[in-house]
Amino acid sequence: MNTKRYYPAALALYITFIIHGIGVSILAQYKDELAELWGATTLPNGALDVSIVFTVIAALGLGRLITLPISGPVSDKFGRRVSSLIGVGLYVLFFVGIIFAPNFYVAFVFALLGGAANSFLDTGVIPSLMEIFGKKGSIANMFTKFSISIGQFALPFMIGFVAASQMSFQTVFYFVAILLAIDGVLLAFVPLPPNSSTQKTDKNQKKEKMKFTATSVVIILIAFTCTSTFQLWLNANQELGTLHGMENPSTIQSYYAIGSIVAVLLTAVFINKKWLKPVQVLILYPAISAVMLLIIYFIETPAILLIGGFILGFAAAGGVLQLVTSTANELFPKHKGKITSIVMISSSLANYIILSAAGVITRVGGVDGPKYVLLFNFAITAIGVLLAIYVNKRYKKENEGMVEAA
Q: What are the pLDDT digits (tens) for 85-114?
A: 999 999 999 999 999 999 989 999 999 999
Does the pLDDT at position 148 exceed 90? no
Same domain, 138 and 20: yes
User: Within a domain: residue 265?
Assistant: yes
Same domain, 180 and 314: no
User: Within a domain: residue 202?
Assistant: no
Same domain, 265 and 188: no
Same domain, 286 and 389: yes
User: Of 158, 193, 228, which one is at a domain's C-terminal end?
Assistant: 193
For the segment 34-46, the average pLDDT, to the nearest whole number, is 82
Query: Rounded to whole angstroms, how far apart are CA atoms 111 and 121?
Result: 15
Single pTM value for the model: 0.80
User: Within a domain: residue 404?
Assistant: no
Q: What are the pLDDT digits (tens) for 226-255?
A: 999 988 888 788 788 888 888 888 788 788
pLDDT band at 62 (very low <50, low <70, confident <90, very high): confident
User: Within a domain: residue 204?
Assistant: no
The lowest-confidence range among 12-26, 196-210, 256-270, 340-354 is 196-210
pLDDT score for 199: 54
pLDDT band at 203 (very low <50, low <70, confident <90, very high): very low
User: Within a domain: residue 209?
Assistant: no
Distances in whole angstroms, Cα of residue 304 to Cα of each of 56, 114, 185, 242, 284: 34, 37, 47, 13, 21
Higher per-residue confidence, 248 vs 316: 316
Same domain, 150 and 295: no
Amino acid present at 151: G
pLDDT score for 198: 52
Number of structural domains, the chain? 2
User: Within a domain: residue 406?
Assistant: no
Same domain, 278 and 172: no
pLDDT score for 208: 67
Instruction: Write the CATH number for 131.
Output: 1.20.1250.20
Does the pLDDT at position 383 exceed 90? yes
User: Within a domain: residue 207?
Assistant: no
C-alpha triplet 127, 132, 136: angle, nearest 5°: 90
Same domain, 135 and 218: no
Same domain, 291 and 253: yes
Rg of the chain over Cα atoms, rounded to whole angstroms, equals 21
Backbone angles phi, psi at 42, to 5 degrees: -95, 130
Same domain, 99 and 185: yes
CB-CB contact of 27 with 98 (8 Å): yes
Same domain, 188 and 218: no
Same domain, 178 and 229: no
Q: Which domain holds residue 287?
A: 214-398
